[in-house]
Amino acid sequence: MVNIYEQIKNNKIRSTFIISLFSIFIILVAYFITQSYNLDGTFLIFAFFISIISSLGSYFYGDKMVLALNQAQLANKNNYPLLYQVVENISIVNQTPMPKIYFIDTYAPNAFATGRDPKHAVICVTSGLLSKLNRSELEAVIAHELSHIKNYDIRLMTIVSILIGSLSILINMAYRSSFFRKSNNREDNQANTIITIIGFIMIIFAPIIAQLIQLAISRRREYFADASAVKLTRQPQALIDALTKISQDDSVFETASTATASLYITNPFKGNKIASLFSTHPPIEDRIKALQQML
């Protein structure tokens, strides 16, 4: 038995740990690459800058892009009164402003949240979700999504992907610059060979390792959002039931895209038996087990 405050503290500690791991990893790799390829600091700044610019669009307009991609329509108090009431109530206890509410017309039950901070938040549910869940289960799902917004998970994942992008650009630049390297002193040749080999290994593996850590961060934030949702509603069983219903449903989410897969409540690409290390969401059984500890 773990009480809700303990659960949230656990999640915060593990989340901090894995984000620190990621930051240290990125810094070490960037340092090593600049050192071993004799690039100076300006390459680092350049790579970072390019990555930021390419992410600016998704940071400020990501919500609009995702909604347009999924042909989402605005939901208001009159045509979706139950949904509106539920979002309103959870916003009160979440202490965040009321987000914009959208719905997607598909049988697959799912929901996602987007938006860089609580003031610019958008929440979207599918019509399949509304028809299959009862009020308590809907509250649990909305609480999970609004917790993502309150915990700034969208902003966190954006920053993480900017850093990974910078790393990829830096590695790319280092690889290209290695063709133009000046010849070294004979005495340093052996050390240089080792560094070159390690450099090659890093070029191949660093992006993959960074991706794996990014996915681990995403999974940890999902557990955190589950715990935060229970803190809001104090009804773990409702979230357990909702997750069970959603995972047992066979409908395919046609307009789901890989770019936004991490924002959904469960992985919309159900057909793929991806190894769990590469999944943005923890397995449903594990999430339910964590929730059952709070019953």
Q: Which is nearer to another protein, 116 or 231 (CB)?
A: 231
Tokens of 145: 């999504």
Torsions phi, psi of 112, nearest 5? -145, 160
- Cβ 293 to another protein shortest distance, Å: 20
> Active site includes 145?
yes
Shortest spacing between CB 96 and another protein, in angstroms? 11
In terms of CB distance, is 85 or 255 closer to another protein?
A: 85
- Give whichever of 78 and 272 is closer to another protein, judged by the CB atom: 78
Query: Pick from 14, 44, 292, 28: which is nearest to 166 by CA?
Result: 44
Strands 100-104 and 111-114, sheet pairing: unpaired
Residue type, 234: R
The three-class DSSP label of residue 291 is helix
* Angle, in degrees to the nearest 10, between helices 189-233 and 284-292: 50
Point out which residues bind another protein (CB under 8 A).
Answer: 85, 88-90, 92-93, 95, 231-232, 234
Catalytic residue among 145, 187, 222, 254: 145
| Burial profile 24-55: b = 16 or more Cβ within 10 angstroms, e = fewer | ebbeebbebbbebbebeeebbeebbeebeeeb
Residue 85 Cβ vs another protein, minimum distance, rounded to whole Å: 5
CA distances from 13 to 17, 149, 152 (A): 6, 19, 16
Q: Give me the least distance between CB of 155 and another protein, in Å please.
A: 21
| Closer of 234 and 289 to another protein (Cβ) | 234
Catalytic residue list = 145
